[in-house]
Amino acid sequence: MTYIAKPKFSHPGLKKNDLGYTHRDYEGKISTLCAGCGHDSITASIIEACYELSIEPHRVAKISGIGCSSKTPDYFLGNSHGFNSVHGRMPSVLTGANLANRDLIYLGVSGDGDSASIGFGQFAHSIRRGVNMTYIVENNGVYGLTKGQFSATADRGSKSKKGVTNTDNAIDLVAIALQLGATFVARSFSGDKTQLVPLIAAAIGHKGASFIDVISPCIAFNNHAGSTKSFDYVREHNDAVNRLDVLVGRDPIAVDYAPGTVQVVEQHDGSKIALRKIDADYDPHDRLGAQTFLARHAAKGQIVTGLLYVDPDAEDLHSHLNTVETPLNTLEADMLCPGSSVLDKINASLR
């Protein structure tokens, strides 16, 4: 029995958001991951982002594949439906779910093994289809759940815990997502909640395929010297291009931002992203620029983080398919079935 229920008690003085929900309303079961696992920090950031956005927890569908990372949807938004599907195939399940009901918020959680190896194809195709989702890869460069094998995002030359050197080239999911036309692309670090929380919030507000690659060290198998996905390594090589705040229903620009270094992006849902530029030249609306910027920094061993690309006017798969606004799962026979008189005509045409 591995299931651990969280005690129901909550402090009466807890802060409430616009919906009157407290933090506790966004939590899930107690994590069974290793203490200190980066994935738990991402869970905390998701909780924080949903709390801040005042999302109704049950309006979120959280879908994952298989892996330590894919277990995490059980640990947040306890009142929403979750789906731990099969290894690497979260994207298709999410796509189907999204087609069935366009009114929910879709959170896809995956691992680097899940998305960059077995599920690389599904990752790519869900992005290129523009499925309206927030796709988070909890990227630790190893297979955590199967105990430490290199994953396809492990950098060439990096070392496993047992000292084996990885000789394969790494897949950079951010570069691929950009290439495939994702309309919201970000990278962050599980140890940097200040950066990660608003990124998740902004991604949720984005209509279209949002992709966030979160470097999330695996303390059990990939947090040693020689790893390029350890806490220390990421802290030392993190090169943030911007920091952001997501403003929902509030005044767009807070006063403490120095003019000229803040850019405001309005999203389709009315939320605004205030981007504080750290790298003054970085333009998050330039897909090509983002690609070359990433490549140049990767060559120097730097991990670029922040909101790397956003297209605020993005369309999603439903727009491409021109589907009705009413969720397909609510349509009944009277809306769907052409009826017997049409069938009689069809019969007549087949004689």
Partner 1 sequence: MSDKKPISSVNDFVVRFANVNGSGSASANEMFARAILRHGVPVSPRNIFPSNIQGLPTWYEVRVTEAGHLGARGGVDMMVAMNPQTWDKDVAGIEPGGYLFYDSTKPMPSTKFRDDITVIGVPLTAITNSTYTDPRQRQLFKNIIYLGALSALLEMDPKLIEQLIGEQYKGKEKLLSSNVHALHLGRDWALQNLKCPIGLRVRKSDKVGDRIFIEGNSAAALGAVYGGATVCAWYPITPSSSVAEAFTAHCKKYRHDPETGKAKYAIVQGEDELASIGIVIGASWNGARAFTATSGPGISLMTEFIGLSYFAEIPAVIMNIQRAGPSTGMPTRTQQCDIIACAYASHGDTKHVLLFPEDPAEAFEFAAAAFDLAERIQTTIFLMLDLDIGMNHRLCRPLKWDDAKQYDRGKVMTAEMLEEGRDFGRYLDVDGDGIPYRTYPGTHPTKGSYFTRGTSRDRYARYSEEGSVYADNMQRLVRKFETAQDLVPRPLQANAERPTKYGVIYFGSTSPAMDEAIGLLEARGHQLDRLRIRAFPFHSSVASFLAEHDFVYVVEQNRDSQLRQLIVNENGIDPVRLVPIVHYDGTPITARYIAKAIGDHQDHLKVTPLRKAVS
Is 307:278 a contact under the CB 8 Å cutoff?
Answer: no
Coil, strand, or helix at residue 17?
coil
111 binds ligand TPP, rule: CB under 6 A: yes
Query: Within 220-249, which residues bind ligand SF4 (CB under 6 A)?
Result: 220-221
Tally Cβ neighbours within 10 Å of residue 41: 20
Among 6, 16, 81, 156, binds partner 1 (CB under 8 A): 81
Among 31, 45, 80, 110, binds partner 1 (CB under 8 A): 80
Query: Within 101-130, which residues bind partner 1 (CB under 8 A)?
Result: 101, 103-104, 121-122, 124-125, 129
Coil, strand, or helix at residue 312?
coil
Q: From 250, 242, 287, select the one nearest 266 (Cα to Cα).
A: 250
Q: From 58, 85, 81, 61, select the one nearest 71 (Cα to Cα).
A: 85
Beta bridge partners of 36: none
- Among the listed ranges 20-28, 34-42, 55-63, 322-330, the one in contact with ligand SF4 (CB under 6 A) is 34-42
296 binds partner 1, rule: CB under 8 A: no
Minimum distance of ligand TPP from residue 181's CB (angstroms): 24
59 binds partner 1, rule: CB under 8 A: yes
116 binds ligand SF4, rule: CB under 6 A: no
| Nearest-angstrom CA–CA distance, 29 and 7 | 9
Is 108:115 a contact under the CB 8 Å cutoff?
Answer: no
Minimum distance of ligand SF4 from residue 18's CB (angstroms): 33
83 binds partner 1, rule: CB under 8 A: yes
189 binds ligand SF4, rule: CB under 6 A: no
217 binds ligand TPP, rule: CB under 6 A: no
Rg of the chain over all Cα atoms, to the nearest angstrom: 21
Q: From 196, 177, 195, 193, select the one nearest 185 (Cα to Cα).
A: 177
Q: Which is nearer to ligand SF4, 230 or 263 (CB)?
A: 230
Coil, strand, or helix at residue 177?
helix
Which residue's CB atom is positioned nearest to ligand SF4?
144
Give the angle subtended at the CA of 169 by the CAs of 165 and 173, to the nearest 5°: 120
| Nearest-angstrom CA–CA distance, 3 and 78 | 13
- Among the listed ranges 135-143, 158-166, 277-285, 314-322, the one in contact with ligand TPP (CB under 6 A) is 135-143
Query: Within 139-158, which residues bind ligand TPP (CB under 6 A)?
Result: 140, 142-146, 151
Q: Which is nearer to partner 1, 77 or 203 (CB)?
A: 77
Among 8, 55, 78, 107, binds partner 1 (CB under 8 A): 78
Among 63, 90, 185, 218, binds ligand SF4 (CB under 6 A): 218
What one-letter code names the amino acid at 263?
Q
Output DSSP code: residue 76. Answer: B
Output DSSP code: residue 24. Answer: G
Q: Which is nearer to ligand SF4, 144 or 205 (CB)?
A: 144
- The pair of three-digit structure tokens given for residue 67, joined into one six-digit string: 């892996």
| Nearest-angstrom CA–CA distance, 169 and 313 | 34
Total residues at the site for ligand TPP (CB under 6 A)?
Answer: 18
343 binds partner 1, rule: CB under 8 A: yes
| Nearest-angstrom CA–CA distance, 199 and 237 | 19
Among 138, 172, 245, 316, binds ligand TPP (CB under 6 A): 138
Measured between alpha carbons, how far is residue 146 from residues 1, 69, 95, 136, 154 in Å?
Answer: 20, 12, 27, 20, 15
Residues near partner 1, by CB under 8 A: 1-3, 56-59, 61, 63, 73-74, 78-86, 89, 91-101, 103-104, 121-122, 124-125, 129, 317-318, 321-325, 328-333, 335-340, 342-344, 346-347, 350-351
Residue ranges that bind ligand SF4, judged by CB under 6 A: 33-34, 37, 39, 68, 140, 144-145, 218-221
Contact set with ligand TPP (CB under 6 A): 66-69, 87, 111-114, 138, 140, 142-146, 151, 218
